[in-house]
Amino acid sequence: MLETERLILRRFTLDDVPAFLAMNTDPHILRFTGGDKAITNLAEAEQAMRAAPLADYEKYGYGRLAVEHKASGEVIGFCGIKYLPEFSLPEIGYRILPAYWGQGLISEAAKVVLAHGHNELGLDHILALIHPDNIGSIRVAEKIGMRRGEQAEYFGMPVWLYASVRG
């Protein structure tokens, strides 16, 4: 578990399936995600949670974390590191429900997750794959010290490769 002034970041549990569904069906969030399969109900959300974050915890020892807002106790998004076999590197990713945009919450979460990835997990290189039109996500990556590199394609979408190197 990681903690910031306003947030608790913890592993997902099956109790979080409704929140996981919400962050994986909102069209404002999904317009820049590319490879995500459409999730339309709680059963599909549970299946996706088991196949992604829960499986990643077992396989790699890390994965996307639920972002819980301390004031409400509500899961409002995710932020965490996921191993991407396509790049042979870990990637930091984040989502937050639109009602919480513009409050600096994801930057707060991403900063502590990136530090945890380098310092506790011992990851030397961490990527962020960001659609060129996703200005909010670009700002978060730059705010936490990531640097833009080359452009690539991921699930048929153009992405900028942002990187953070330990040291």
pTM above 0.85, yes or no: yes
β-strand pairing of 147-154 with 157-165: antiparallel
Q: What range does the domain containing 47 cover?
A: 2-165
Can you give the pLDDT at residue 28? 76
Can you give the pLDDT at residue 36? 58
CATH of the domain at 138: 3.40.630.30
Can you give the pLDDT at residue 162? 97
Q: Which residues pair with 83 in a beta bridge?
A: 90
d(CA 55, CA 61): 9
Can you give the pLDDT at residue 103? 94
Q: What residues of the chain score a pLDDT lower than 50?
A: none
If one counts the domains in the chain, the total is 1
d(CA 50, CA 149): 32
Can you give the pLDDT at residue 35? 55
CB 81, CB 91: distance < 8 Å: yes
Can you give the pLDDT at residue 27? 74
Can you give the pLDDT at residue 39? 86
